Amino acid sequence: MNLLSGAFKYVAGIDEESYSSGGLSVERFIDRIVGSSLPQDRRAALRELIDLVKKDVASREKVAKLGVKVFVAILQQDRPYQETIVQTLELLILLVTQIESEKIAEERLLDEIDALEVSRQVAHENTQIFVKYPGAVVQLLDLLEEEDFSIRFNIIELLTALLANDPVLVQQKILEASQGVTKLMDLLKDRREVIRNEAILLLTALVRNCEEAQKILAFENIFELMFDIVESSIQQAEAQRELLDFSDGHTVEESVKDRKKLVTNVEIEILIHDCLLLLFSLLQKNESNQKYFRETGCIPRLNMLLDLKGTEISLVSAQRGENLQLALELLLSLVDDSFKSSEIQQNKTLCATSGILKAVIHIALAPFPDSMCIVCVRAFQSWKLLMKNHKENRTYACSISVLDPQSRIPIGCVVAAFDICCTDSSPAVRLAAFELVELCVMEDIQDSNNFIKALEKKNENCELDTDNTYNHHMQVLSLNLLDTVIGWPEEADSAAVFYACRLLSNLLHKLDSGRLYLLRTAIGPGREAFLVKCMRSLSRAERNHANASLKIGILILMSTWLYSCSEAVQLFLSSAMHLPLLIEMATKSPQHEDDIHVQGLAALVLAVCLGTETDSKNVLVSVVRQRIGVTNFVAKLDEIRASDLFILAYTSKNYLIPDSLLKNNLGAHLDEKLGHRYWYDPISVQLFNQVYFSLQKQILELVVTSDDEDRKEYNSSQTEKWNDSYRQDLSNSRTREEFSNAEAYKSIIREQDKQIEKQHQRLEELERIVAELQQELDSQSKIAIESTRKELDERNARLESTNLQLKDALDRIAYLENLLNEKEADLQSISRACTDLETENEKLRGGSSGDTGTTTLEGNVSSSKHSEILPQEITSNDNVAIKEEEEPPKVRDERDSVYSLFEENNRLQRRVEDLLAAIGDWESYCEAMKVKLKEEREQNERLKIVARDSELIKDGYEGSLKKLQQQLDQCKKELSNREEQLRILSQENQQLRADSEHMKYEPDVSTQEFYRASEESWSFSPKLDRDPILTHSRLLRWIKNTLMEHINSFVTMEERNWKDLDNLLHHFYLRLEQLSKTVVFLKNKYHSMKYIERTNPLKGHILEEEQEGDLSDLFQGKKNSSVSFISSSKDDFPLVTSEEYLEDVDIQNEYREALSYIEELQEKNSNIANMVSLYMLECQRQYDVLENNAFGRIQLQVDLLDDFITKLNKLMRKLNILVK
Partner 1 sequence: MSYAYLFKFIIIGDSGVGKSCLLLQFTDKRFQPIHDLTIGVEFGAKIVQMDGKTIKLQIWDTAGQESFRSITRSYYRGAAGALLVYDITRRETFNHLATWLEDARQYSSPDMTVVLVGNKCDLEHRRQVSKEEGEAFARAHGLSFLETSAKTAFHVEETFTEAARTIYEKIKQGKLDLNGDFQGVKVGATANTIQLQQNNQDERSGCC
Q: Which residues bind partner 1 (CB under 8 A)?
A: 175-182, 211-212, 215-216, 218-221, 288, 291-292, 295, 297, 1128, 1134-1135, 1137-1139
Distance, CA of 1051 to CA of 1068 (rounded, Å):
25
Specify the residue, 36 or 296, whose C-beta has the smaller distance to partner 1. 296
Supply φ then ψ for residue 97, to 5 degrees.
-100, 145
Specify the residue, 220 or 838, whose C-beta has the smaller distance to partner 1. 220
Q: Residues with Cβ < 8 Å from 1093, sequence gap 6 or more?
A: 1100, 1101, 1103, 1104
DSSP tag of 388: T
| Residue 833 near residue 841, CB atoms below 8 Å | no
Considering only CA atoms, which of 1214, 1218, 1081, 1145 is closest in space to residue 284?
Answer: 1081
Closest CB 244 distance from partner 1, rounded Å: 35
Specify the residue, 142 or 639, whose C-beta has the smaller distance to partner 1. 142
Closest CB 132 distance from partner 1, rounded Å: 16
Contacts of the segment 509-514: beta carbons below 8 A, 24+ positions apart: 509/560, 509/683, 509/687, 510/442, 510/445, 511/445, 511/449, 511/451, 511/452, 513/452, 514/445, 514/451, 514/452, 514/455
Specify the residue, 189 or 712, whose C-beta has the smaller distance to partner 1. 189
Q: Residues with Cβ < 8 Å from 257, sequence gap 6 or more?
A: 244, 247, 249
Specify the residue, 221 or 775, whose C-beta has the smaller distance to partner 1. 221
| Residue 501 near residue 557, CB atoms below 8 Å | yes
Q: Residues with Cβ < 8 Å from 148, sequence gap 6 or more?
A: 82, 86
Closest CB 638 distance from partner 1, rounded Å: 53
Distance, CA of 1217 to CA of 935 (rounded, Å):
12
Closest CB 296 distance from partner 1, rounded Å: 8
| Residue 863 near residue 842, CB atoms below 8 Å | no
- The DSSP-derived string for 172-235 is HHHHHSTTHHHHHHHGGG-S-HHHHHHHHHHHHHHHTT-HHHHHHHHHTTHHHHHHHHHHHHHH
Closest CB 288 distance from partner 1, rounded Å: 5
Specify the residue, 352 or 416, whose C-beta has the smaller distance to partner 1. 352
Question: What DSSP element (H or E) covers 564?
Answer: none
| Residue 1137 near residue 1124, CB atoms below 8 Å | yes
Distance, CA of 187 to CA of 1027 (rounded, Å):
93
Specify the residue, 218 or 598, whose C-beta has the smaller distance to partner 1. 218
Specify the residue, 178 or 654, whose C-beta has the smaller distance to partner 1. 178
Neighbours of 803 (CB within 10 A): 17
Closest CB 1136 distance from partner 1, rounded Å: 9
Specify the residue, 177 or 519, whose C-beta has the smaller distance to partner 1. 177
Closest CB 210 distance from partner 1, rounded Å: 10
Closest CB 182 distance from partner 1, rounded Å: 5
Specify the residue, 935 or 1062, whose C-beta has the smaller distance to partner 1. 1062
Closest CB 997 distance from partner 1, rounded Å: 18
- 3-state class of 401 per DSSP? strand
Closest CB 176 distance from partner 1, rounded Å: 5
Closest CB 1077 distance from partner 1, rounded Å: 18
Contacts of the segment 68-71: beta carbons below 8 A, 24+ positions apart: 68/129, 68/130, 68/133, 68/136, 69/7, 69/10, 69/11, 69/133, 70/4, 70/7, 70/10, 70/11, 70/30, 70/33, 70/34, 71/130
**Phi-psi category of 1138—alpha, beta or left, where left has phi over 0 and alpha has psi -120 to 50?**
left
Closest CB 192 distance from partner 1, rounded Å: 19
| Residue 335 near residue 348, CB atoms below 8 Å | yes
Specify the residue, 506 or 1128, whose C-beta has the smaller distance to partner 1. 1128
Using CA atoms, how far residue 619 sits from 585, 847, 1155, in Å, is 18, 157, 62
Specify the residue, 170 or 1190, whose C-beta has the smaller distance to partner 1. 170
Specify the residue, 131 or 603, whose C-beta has the smaller distance to partner 1. 131
Specify the residue, 567 or 1131, whose C-beta has the smaller distance to partner 1. 1131
Closest CB 215 distance from partner 1, rounded Å: 5
Closest CB 350 distance from partner 1, rounded Å: 10
Considering only CA atoms, which of 503, 509, 532 is closest in space to residue 519?
Answer: 532
Closest CB 174 distance from partner 1, rounded Å: 10
Closest CB 1137 distance from partner 1, rounded Å: 7
Considering only CA atoms, which of 65, 64, 66, 76 is closest in space to residue 4?
Answer: 76
Question: What DSSP element (H or E) covers 59?
Answer: none
Specify the residue, 297 or 847, whose C-beta has the smaller distance to partner 1. 297
Please state the three-class secondary structure of 369-381 as a single string. CHHHHHHHHHHHH
- Beta strands 410-412 and 528-529: pairing type? unpaired
Closest CB 1081 distance from partner 1, rounded Å: 19
Specify the residue, 499 or 1125, whose C-beta has the smaller distance to partner 1. 1125
1158-1187 residues labelled b (16+ CB within 10 A) or e (exposed): eeebeebbeebbebbeebbeebbebbeebb
Specify the residue, 63 or 181, whose C-beta has the smaller distance to partner 1. 181
Specify the residue, 175 or 308, whose C-beta has the smaller distance to partner 1. 175
Distance, CA of 178 to CA of 195 (rounded, Å):
22
Burial of 821 (0-12, 13-18, 19+ CB in 10 A): exposed
Distance, CA of 210 to CA of 217 (rounded, Å):
11
Closest CB 1070 distance from partner 1, rounded Å: 11
